């Protein structure tokens, strides 16, 4: 059983090593990409097996597939892995997205001197480390992997990214690293406290959970803050978010998918796995603070998303709004809201991946991420427009798409305990519709226009584009041309996008199997944070402020 | 006004039996049609429209079967549920996906699939020259499926699914002519204003969950009495906000006229007959809640009265045939809102008017589409005139719809509108005068703007003779001809128009006579209450005479103003203040623009500035400070290694400080 979990961790890392060895040989480029894709498919199969063996329902242990070997006995840290439902779904999302982004990257042009194998190696390395981050049940191991995951992502952005990639990569690294160091202080603090309380220092999650929950509030709060800052940077919550638009805009599209879709989820995952169970009193005490940041994020991210002209930055800001909803659900402490947030983590990964990839497919054609260079793309590439719209509808949480279920659960669950915050966050659904449909209108509807679509390429006549009017796109001399510079999706591109469309619809109507896997972890988290549902099936005890 | 119905016990909700178990086909058929056409893409271009029509006609057949088997049951056993599966469930929340088969939902299902079938058939001819006809049918099928989920769903969350689903279909179809920029703006506006309403609907659902721990109709309605009065008022007002968005009611009415950017069959089906009446459905469906919330009911009637006047006033000023009809729709739905707000005395009247309006307004839109089809897609009535000679079938069917709408004696609108006016007179001493007066006044205005429309379009000199068709659409149409050649449309278009015209003529008498509809609906909306049996501000028996007199006055004034003078082809600019106000939609758009859109854009720009300078600057500044040298982060070529080292140094300082602090508490 636990060998399976170890294999989940090792397979991508071995794949990364193999691809990495091929990275400097350009003639092995295709072979490297194929090998990498093969490893990612093996991971996917492994996850499917683990999923099928994962037990649900009441009475299941906190962590399944558990595994623990001695690592550094000197300070009681062990190499311990285990899965709960939340970790499993995140690892499954990872296993689904990596083959998709590798498939997307197959036809992607790389900066000079870079090879596809090198890129694939970094992707697989990120996958391997992330599996460890989600599966770690030793706090020190988690910390080490939390920092380690920065390294492949740093090189993904710094080596394969856009023109300002160095700036973005360093900014990304510094923000995350700084947060990690602050967390390290808390990790060590936990060790010290456990040494004092248990007579022996430990980093074991379960032992620390039992111990830390007993700590006085005055101790919990500083420890909480150490973890919280690291996770809030990662998630990211406003005002610690500014690295994300830069990193998202400069990262290669496939890297951006993993960055925004999964790597950032470590932040909210951390709230669920570490801050709530380890510091329940502090979590309850400081929840209003977090909720304020969450609701600010919902509106702030949405308003900024609406104002972006760079499509990749746009996607990054929509994510900031969505992380606000996730944080709201987590810190509202009801089983609906926490289950909603856990499901949201998966759904946001899917819809953002698809949105990012649709943007990437457009950039591949038009050569720029600037919205003002496009217009009427739906006439030249109706399938691409349709893909963007489906991703966008999922982003605005239209019922029938995956995101609706999670957003509804977050809001309906948060409303009983936090009505004011929930009402404000609900207003956010109007803004979500605004930013998605506005971008869709500017880029995809209307007559063919814009330098990247009908001109001589991006920027060729940006002056004329700037003079363009109401809803973006110019009416220069090329505007009368009826043919675009590019065509619709190829078969390969359709194959990359189709699984995401299927997931969006299937999870929109049948989220049951995923919720079932999440439920024991949600119930455990609720118990650990010491919260009970205000709304029960028994109306007599519905004690709700009227 | 609420106490009358409160005592009536709700019929028990029973599981479906026998052949009705196949009710899911009702939704599944059009959904399957949409799926095949969307996924099949161009491969289905040749036969896509046939599939689109067949699925909706088959769905109509299923609806008829269900209706007949429902009629066979005793009234108290007509409320049935078909459980399909558990959509999602966490803790106390259990959202079940199922269908509620009761007289109310079946009435709507018949309207949606019946009128939907006719409009699908009409569209085969209307869209024959459009290269994207298959896409059109895919989206129209999707609309029918979503609309059926909206009315058949057995809980508030399934309602919400259909509610936003029809919003998506409406969005896609308003923006169907992608070559027009205005279509994109109109589509987005419709979706956004609907979403404002959806916030209300969502919050109402949250409140219901908090109060009752469920969102399924059966339980919510049975336990409505447990909700405190204040909360119930809040719930009803939030539901009303949702209804206002979807039904184009004040203050969210401005999107509906813009929605006329879509193809005319869409205007007929979605923006006249079915989707825009969803708000009326919602309030009628929630009658157990509204009957306990008199304040909520009063606000519904006020919104209805305001809207029916706004719509009628603006309808008098427009020259675009579709926009006049659109404002007429706004106004007529205002009537329905007014009626559902009146409680048991008004429910049946509202639904009767909803059905007859579905017939005559759909028929009028199809007639307008037929006129446009023959007139190179022109919609400006100033460029029409004397068309009765050139399109006799269109003229005949349009005339029947016109007479039904203005309430000509013994046609549909006469019966159903009078019912609403009669009911409004029973609203109480002051409210009865105000609401009844508004409803009567608007009846006269309706006759005015519709007679004006008839005269400008079908009578008078043929003003189009000396004009050249305009190129309305830059990309979607072939080059227009040099001259207008008005002609009658093909049979696939005229037959649906004829059928709808027959409905416009006879439906009112059939439904209202013998209170057939009201009695059938009793299981869903409670027992029939006659306006004659309730105290009214004056004798309700006078209403038919008063309404007919006002109708004649309105039509007569229109004849004097339009029929006896020549209509200038160019729109006169020097007009009185009321006309200018009406032409400007009573400034609704200007207010939206000034109060919401502009400030929103400023705020958003200000935040971008703040985000780049303020937040990012502050954080970068702190990082640079930690790094020891300001500007290090920006000069990144050499920055990495040194920043790394300096950050570790800085971090270590924080670390040690933190350790010391925590160590102090740790023991």
Q: Chain B partners of A307 at a C-beta cutoff of 8 Å?
A: 604-605, 607-608
Residues of A in contact with B659 (CB under 8 A): 185, 188-189, 192
Measured N-to-C along each axis, helices A150-160 and A165-198 cross at an angle, to the nearest 10 degrees, of 180
More confident residue, B639 or B551: B551
* Residue B556 pLDDT exceeds 90: yes
Q: Which residue of B has its CA nearest to A417?
A: B210
Confidence of residue B2 (pLDDT cuts 50, 70, 90): very low
Query: Nearest CA of chain A to the CA of B582: how many Å?
Result: 25
**pLDDT tens per residue, range B288-343:** 999 999 999 999 999 999 999 999 999 998 899 999 999 999 999 999 999 999 99
CB-nearest to B191 from A223, A340, A437 is A437
B157 contacts on A by Cβ (under 8 Å) = 399, 408
Report the distance separating Cα A176 and Cα A160, nearest Å: 19
Alpha-carbon span B96 to B219, nearest angstrom: 12
Residue of B nearest to A400 (CA): B161
**Nearest chain A residue (CA) to B626:** A178
Q: Which two tokens stand for residue B337?
A: 């809102």
Q: What spatial distance separates the first Cα and last Cα of chain B, rounded to whole Å?
A: 69
Tell me the pLDDT tens digit for each residue of A375-409.
889 888 999 999 999 999 999 999 999 999 999 99
Task: Classify residue B341 as exposed, middle or buried by CB count within 10 Å of its CB (0-12, 13-18, 19+).
Answer: buried
Question: Does the pLDDT at position A483 exceed 80?
Answer: no
Report CB contact under 8 Å: B203, A423.
Answer: yes
Given a contact cutoff of 8 angstroms between Cβ atoms, the answer to whether B456 and B381 are in contact is yes
pLDDT at B631 > cutoff 60:
no
Pairing type for strands B93-101 and B80-90 reads antiparallel
Rounded distance between C-alpha atoms, residue B207 and residue A133, angstroms: 38
> Chain B residues with CB inside 8 Å of A219's CB?
662, 665-666
Closest Cα of chain A to B543: distance in Å?
43
User: Least CB-CB distance to A512: which of B86, B93, B168?
Assistant: B86
Query: B475 to chain A nearest CA, in Å?
Result: 7
Tens digits of residue pLDDT in A248-300: 888 889 889 999 989 999 999 999 999 999 999 999 999 999 999 999 999 99
Report the C-alpha gap between B92 and A375 in whole angstroms: 47
- Measure the CA–CA gap between B44 and B49, rounded to whole angstroms: 9
Q: Are B186 and B200 in contact (CB under 8 A)?
A: no
User: Is A298 domain-assigned?
Assistant: yes
State the Cα angle at B196 between B191 and B202, rounded to 5°: 110
Are A445 and B184 a contacting pair at CB < 8 A? yes
Q: What is the structure's pLDDT at B614?
A: 62
CB contact under 8 A, B178 and A433: no
Select the residue of A306, A441, A482 nearest B184 (Cβ to Cβ): A441
- Spell out the domain ranges in chain B: 3-10+156-572, 590-666
**Residue B488 backbone phi and psi in degrees, to 5:** -75, 150
Distance from CA of A88 to the nearest CA of B (A): 19
B632 has a pLDDT exceeding 80: no
CA-based nearest residue in chain B for residue A514:
B88
Judge contact between A159 and A121, C-beta under 8 A: no
- Give the per-residue pLDDT at A72: 83
Cβ–Cβ below 8 Å for A189 and B226: no
- Chain B residue with CA closest to A420: the answer is B203
Name A72's bridge partners.
A77
Burial of B74 (0-12, 13-18, 19+ CB in 10 A): exposed
- Name every chain B residue with its beta carbon within 8 A of the beta carbon of A413: 90, 93
Residue to substitute from B42, B206, B634, interface A, most A β-carbons within 10 A:
B206
Are B92 and A535 an interchain contact pair (Cβ–Cβ within 8 Å)? yes
Cβ contact, residue pair A422, B175, below 8 Å: no
Least confident of A480-484, B224-228, B480-484: A480-484
CA distance, residue A6 to nearest chain B CA (Å): 31
Q: What is the pLDDT of residue B662?
A: 47
Q: What span, in angstroms and rounded, lies between the C-alpha atoms of A66 and A80?
A: 7
Chain B nearest CA to A469, separation (Å): 11
Whether the pLDDT of residue A465 is over 80: the answer is no
Answer yes or no: do A181 and B231 touch at CB < 8 A.
no
CB contact under 8 A, A546 and B179: no
DSSP-derived letter for residue B628 is S
Give me the residue from A174, A193, A409 closest to B90, CB to CB. A409
Mark yes or no for CB contact B655/A427 under 8 Å. no
Give the pLDDT confidence score for residue B639 in this predicted structure.
44
B624 pLDDT band, cuts 50/70/90, is low
Packing angle of the helix pair A335-366, A311-331 (nearest 10 deg):
170
For residue B153, the cross-strand partners are B99
Chain A residues with CB under 8 Å of B623 CB are 174-175, 178
DSSP annotation string for B541-582: GGHHHHHHHHHHHHHHHHIIIIITSPPPSSPPS---HHHHHH
Residues of A in contact with B198 (CB under 8 A): 429
Instruction: Kindly report the length of chain B.
Output: 667
Measured CA to CA, the distance from residue B102 to residue B313 in angstroms comes to 37
The yes-or-no verdict on residue B375 having pLDDT over 60 is yes
- Residue with the larger pLDDT of the pair A493 and B655: A493
Query: Quick check: B202 and A429 CB within 8 A?
Result: yes
Judging contacts by C-beta atoms under 8 Å, the chain A residues touching residue B231 are 546
Given CA atoms B87, B88, B91, B92 in this order, what sign does their dihedral have? negative
pLDDT, one tens digit per residue, over B275-289 is: 999 999 999 999 999
pLDDT-based confidence at B376, cuts 50/70/90? Answer: confident
| From A170, A300, A339, residue closest to B633, measured CB to CB | A170
φ, ψ of residue A110 to 5 degrees: the values are -105, 160
The whole-angstrom separation of Cα B152 and Cα B469 is 45
Q: Which residue has the tokens 């028929």?
A: B363
Task: Give the mean model confidence (pLDDT) for residues A328-342.
Answer: 96
User: Burial of B581 by CB count in 10 Å (0-12 exposed, 13-18 middle, 19+ buried)?
Assistant: middle
Rounded CA separation B381/B409 (Å): 27
Chains A & B: contacts with CB separation below 8 Å: 248
State yes or no: pLDDT of B573 exceeds 60.
Answer: yes
pLDDT digits (tens, 9 = 90+) for B35-63: 999 998 888 889 999 999 999 999 999 99
> What kind and span of H or E run contains A70?
strand A64-72
Instruction: Choose the closest CB to A412 out of B181, B205, B618.
Output: B205
The H or E element that residue A434 is part of is helix A419-444
Residue A46 banded pLDDT, cuts 50, 70, 90: very high
Quote the minimal CA–CA distance from A56 to chain B in Å. 14
C-alpha distance from A418 to closest chain B C-alpha (Å): 11
Residue B638 has pLDDT above 50, yes or no: no
Q: Where is average pLDDT lowest: A277-281, B135-139, B222-226, B566-570?
A: B566-570
By Cβ distance, the residue of B163, B231, B643 closest to A546 is B231
Are B165 and A437 a contacting pair at CB < 8 A? no
User: How far away is chain A from the Cα of B640, in angstroms, using its nearest Cα?
Assistant: 6
Contact criterion met (CB < 8 Å) for B223 and A539: yes
Q: Given a cut of 50, is residue B544 above it in pLDDT?
A: yes
Judge: A409–B86 Cβ closer than 8 Å, yes or no: no
Cβ burial of A477 (10 Å; 0-12, 13-18, 19+) is exposed
What domain range includes position A429? 2-448+484-534
Mean pLDDT of B235-254: 93
CA distance A364 to chain B (A): 23
Length of chain A, in residues:
546
Q: Under an 8 A CB cutoff, do A177 and B651 touch?
A: yes
Smallest Cα distance from A309 to chain B, Å = 11
* Residue A541, domain member (yes or no): no
Residue A542 lies in a domain: no
**More confident call, B124 vs B587:** B124
Cβ neighbourhood burial of B251 (10 Å; 0-12, 13-18, 19+): middle
Which one is predicted more confidently, B397 or B600? B397
* Number of domains forming the structure of chain A: 1
Assigned domain for A224 exists:
yes
CB B171 to CB A437 under 8 A?
yes
Task: Determine the pLDDT at residue B94.
Answer: 93
3 state DSSP class of B88 = strand
pLDDT of residue B21: 84
Closest in A171, A445, A515 to B90, CB measured: A515
Q: Output the pLDDT for position A287.
A: 94
Instruction: Output the average pLDDT for chain B.
Output: 86
Q: What are phi and psi of A486, to 5 degrees?
A: -140, 165
Residues in A touching B603 (Cβ below 8 Å): 303
Q: Which residues of B touch A504 (CB under 8 A)?
A: none
Q: Do B226 and A173 touch (CB under 8 A)?
A: no
The percentage of residues in chain B with a pLDDT greater than 90, rounded to a whole number, is 57
Contact assignment for B665 to A219 by CB distance below 8 Å: yes
Contact B659 A536 (CB under 8 A): no
A455 assigned to some structural domain: no
């Amino acid at each position: 059983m636990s060998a399976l979990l170890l294999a989940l961790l090792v397979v991508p890392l071995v794949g990364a090593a193999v691809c990495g060895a091929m990275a400097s040989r350009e003639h092995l480029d295709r072979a490297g990409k194929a090998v990498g894709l093969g490893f990612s498919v093996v991971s996917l199969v492994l996850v499917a097996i683990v999923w099928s063996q994962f037990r649900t329902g009441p009475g299941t242990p906190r962590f399944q597939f558990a595994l623990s070997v001695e690592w550094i006995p000197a300070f009681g840290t062990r190499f311990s892995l285990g899965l709960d439902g939340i970790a499993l779904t995140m690892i499954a999302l990872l296993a689904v997205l990596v083959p998709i982004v590798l498939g997307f990257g197959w036809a992607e042009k790389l900066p000079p001197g870079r090879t596809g194998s090198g890129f694939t190696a970094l992707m697989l390395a990120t996958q391997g480390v992330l599996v460890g981050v989600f599966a770690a049940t030793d706090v020190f191991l988690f910390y080490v992997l939390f920092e380690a995951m920065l390294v492949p992502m740093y090189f993904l952005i710094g080596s394969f990214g856009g023109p300002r990639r160095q700036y973005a990569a360093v900014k990304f690294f510094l923000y995350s690293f700084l947060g990690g160091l602050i967390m390290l202080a808390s990790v060590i603090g936990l060790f010290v406290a456990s040494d004092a309380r248990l007579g022996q220092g430990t980093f074991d999650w379960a032992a620390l959970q039992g111990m830390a929950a007993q700590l006085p509030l005055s101790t919990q709060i500083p420890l909480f803050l150490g973890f919280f800052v690291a996770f809030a940077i990662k998630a990211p919550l406003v005002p610690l978010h500014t690295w994300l638009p830069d990193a998202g805009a400069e990262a290669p599209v496939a890297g951006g998918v993993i960055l925004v879709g999964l790597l950032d989820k470590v932040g909210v995952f951390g709230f669920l796995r570490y801050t709530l169970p380890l510091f329940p009193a502090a979590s309850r005490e400081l929840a209003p603070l977090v909720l304020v940041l969450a609701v600010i994020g919902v509106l702030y991210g949405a308003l900024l998303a609406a104002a972006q002209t760079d499509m990749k930055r746009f996607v990054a800001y929509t994510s900031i709004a969505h992380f606000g909803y996730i944080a709201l659900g987590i810190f509202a402490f009801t089983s609906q809201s926490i289950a909603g947030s856990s499901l949201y983590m998966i759904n946001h990964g899917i819809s953002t991946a698809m949105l990012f990839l649709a943007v990437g497919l457009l950039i591949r054609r038009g050569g720029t991420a600037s919205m003002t260079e496009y217009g009427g793309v739906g006439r030249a590439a109706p399938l691409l427009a349709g893909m963007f719209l489906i991703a966008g509808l999922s982003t605005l949480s239209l019922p029938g798409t995956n995101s609706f279920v999670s957003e509804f659960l977050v809001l309906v669950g948060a409303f009983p305990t936090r009505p004011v915050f929930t009402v404000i966050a609900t207003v956010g659904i109007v803004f979500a519709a605004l930013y998605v449909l506005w971008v869709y209108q500017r880029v995809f509807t209307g007559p063919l226009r814009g330098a990247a679509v009908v001109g001589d390429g991006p920027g060729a006549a940006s002056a004329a584009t700037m003079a363009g009017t109401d809803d973006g796109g110019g009416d220069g001399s090329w505007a009368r041309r009826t043919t675009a510079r590019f065509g619709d999706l190829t078969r390969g591109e359709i194959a990359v996008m189709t699984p995401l469309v299927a997931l969006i619809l299937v999870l929109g109507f049948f989220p049951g199997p995923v919720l079932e896997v999440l439920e024991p972890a949600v119930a455990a988290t609720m118990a650990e944070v010491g919260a009970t549902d205000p709304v029960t099936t028994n109306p007599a005890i519905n004690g709700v402020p009227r | 006004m609420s106490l009358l119905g409160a005592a009536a016990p709700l019929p028990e909700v029973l599981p479906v039996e026998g052949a009705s178990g196949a009710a899911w086909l009702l939704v599944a058929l059009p959904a399957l049609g949409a799926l095949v056409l969307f996924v099949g893409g161009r491969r289905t271009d040749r036969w896509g429209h046939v599939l689109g029509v067949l699925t909706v006609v088959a769905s109509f057949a299923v609806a008829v079967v269900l209706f007949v088997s429902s009629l066979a049951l005793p009234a108290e056993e007509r409320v049935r549920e078909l459980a399909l599966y558990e959509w999602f469930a966490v803790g106390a929340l259990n959202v079940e996906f199922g269908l509620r088969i009761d007289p109310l939902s079946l009435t709507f299902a018949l309207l949606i699939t019946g009128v939907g079938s006719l409009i699908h058939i009409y569209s085969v001819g209307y869209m024959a020259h459009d290269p994207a006809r298959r896409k059109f049918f895919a989206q129209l099928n999707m609309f029918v499926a979503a609309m059926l989920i909206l009315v058949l769903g057995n809980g508030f969350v399934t309602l919400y699914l259909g509610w936003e689903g029809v919003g998506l279909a409406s969005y896609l179809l308003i923006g169907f002519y992608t070559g027009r920029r205005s279509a994109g703006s109109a589509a987005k506006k419709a979706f956004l204003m609907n979403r404002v309403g959806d916030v209300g609907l969502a919050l109402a659902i949250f409140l219901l969950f908090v109060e009752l721990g469920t969102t399924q109709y059966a339980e919510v309605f049975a336990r409505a009495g447990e909700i405190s009065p204040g909360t119930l008022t809040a719930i009803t007002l939030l539901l009303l906000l949702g209804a206002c968005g979807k039904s184009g009611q004040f203050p969210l009415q401005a999107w509906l006229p813009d929605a006329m950017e879509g193809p005319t069959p869409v205007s007929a089906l979605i923006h006249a007959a079915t989707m825009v009446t969803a708000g009326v459905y919602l309030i009628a469906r929630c009658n157990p809640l509204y009957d306990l919330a008199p304040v909520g009911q009063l606000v519904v009637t006020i919104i209805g009265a305001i809207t029916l006047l706004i719509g009628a006033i603006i309808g008098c000023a427009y020259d675009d045939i579709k926009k006049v009809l659109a404002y007429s729709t706004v106004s007529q739905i205002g009537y329905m809102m007014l009626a559902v707000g009146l409680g048991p005395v008004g429910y049946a009247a509202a639904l009767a008017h909803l059905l007859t309006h579905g017939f005559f307004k759909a028929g009028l839109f199809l007639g307008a589409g037929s006129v446009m089809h023959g007139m190179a897609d022109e919609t400006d009535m100033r460029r029409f005139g004397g068309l009765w000679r050139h399109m006799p079938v269109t003229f005949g069917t349009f005339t029947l719809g016109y007479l039904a709408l203005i309430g000509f004696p013994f046609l549909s609108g006469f019966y159903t509108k009078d019912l609403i006016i009669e009911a409004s007179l029973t609203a109480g001493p002051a409210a009865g005068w105000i609401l009844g007066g508004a409803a009567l006044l608007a009846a006269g205005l309706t006759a005015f703007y519709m007679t004006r429309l008839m005269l400008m379009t079908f009578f008078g000199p043929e003003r189009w003779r000396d004009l050249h068709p305009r190129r309305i659409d830059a990309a979607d149409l072939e080059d227009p001809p040099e001259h207008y050649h008005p002609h009658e449309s093909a049979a696939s278009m005229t037959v649906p128009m004829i059928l709808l015209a027959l409905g416009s003529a006879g439906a009112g008498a059939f439904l209202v006579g013998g209170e057939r509809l009201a009695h059938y609906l009793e299981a869903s909306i409670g027992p029939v209450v006659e306006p004659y049996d309730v105290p009214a501000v004056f004798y309700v028996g006078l209403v038919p005479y008063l309404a007919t007199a006002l109708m004649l006055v309105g039509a007569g004034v229109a004849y004097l103003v339009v029929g006896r003078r020549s209509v200038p082809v160019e729109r006169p600019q020097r007009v009185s203040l009321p006309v200018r106000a009406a032409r400007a939609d009573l400034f609704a758009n200007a207010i939206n623009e000034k109060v919401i859109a502009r400030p929103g854009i400023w705020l958003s720009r200000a935040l971008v500035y703040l985000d780049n300078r303020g937040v990012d600057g502050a954080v970068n500044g702190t990082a640079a400070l930690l790094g020891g040298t300001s500007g290090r982060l920006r000069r990144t070529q050499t920055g990495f290694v040194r920043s790394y080292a300096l950050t570790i140094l800085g971090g270590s300082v924080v670390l040690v400080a933190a350790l010391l602090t925590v160590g102090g508490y740790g023991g």
